[in-house]
Amino acid sequence: MSHLRLVSDSAPPAPEPAMPRPYAPPPVQRELPVPTSAFGAHESRLAPRKNDDRVPVPPGGRAHVTCSMDDLDFEQGVIIALERLAQGRELRDGLGKPVVAHEVERYAGLRAAGLAGLQARIRPHLRMDHPWQGQAAELMERLASEERHWWTVSGRRRT
């Protein structure tokens, strides 16, 4: 008698599970919302809307609707200028803390130089036909007055 006969018969080994097949969800077909009627003049330059993998247009029109690089630069400049003016006249450093007294002049000069740069970015586009042109002209006046204020605070009054 062999010692193998004392061992009970075991069930046959279970088959190994099949290797999972790679699965990718079907591509999402996103439709960009139709731009407002203000962009009707730019219909020939509108970005294609089908098979577009860009981020969908957020509400409020803060999007890069056109393919034209000039329009893109102008729209970005206007949006940045609005955000800078919304910051108000409180000076804060890079960490968001209030600026200490002996650094006020330096930070005011930086703020004034930034506002001058925004004006230089927007000014060449004021001759174009764009729906935001009227808003941008008013914005340039506000940027100029804020720049004068910050140059005065910095001690380097520019006329």
Q: Does residue 99 lie within any of the structural domains? A: yes
Longest dimension (CA), the chain: 114
Q: Does residue 83 lie within any of the structural domains? A: yes
Question: Residue 93: helix, strand or coil by DSSP?
Answer: coil
Cβ contact 74:136 at 8 Å: yes
Q: How high is the pLDDT of residue 109?
A: 92
Q: Does residue 49 lie within any of the structural domains? A: no
Domain membership of residue 78 as a residue range: 69-154
* Phi, psi for residue 98 in degrees, rounded to 5: -60, 145
d(CA 159, CA 147): 11
Q: Does residue 15 lie within any of the structural domains? A: no
What token pair was written down for 22?
């790679």
Averages of pLDDT over runs of 10 residues in the chain (159 residues) are: 60 68 64 60 57 54 56 83 88 87 91 93 84 87 93 78
pTM score over 0.75: no
Q: Does residue 115 lie within any of the structural domains? A: yes
Torsion of CA 123, 128, 133, 139, to 10 degrees: 0
Evaluate the CA torsion angle 123, 127, 130, 133 in order and state its sign: positive
Q: Does residue 112 lie within any of the structural domains? A: yes
Domain count, the chain: 1
Q: How high is the pLDDT of residue 126?
A: 84
Q: Does residue 94 lie within any of the structural domains? A: yes
Q: Does residue 26 lie within any of the structural domains? A: no
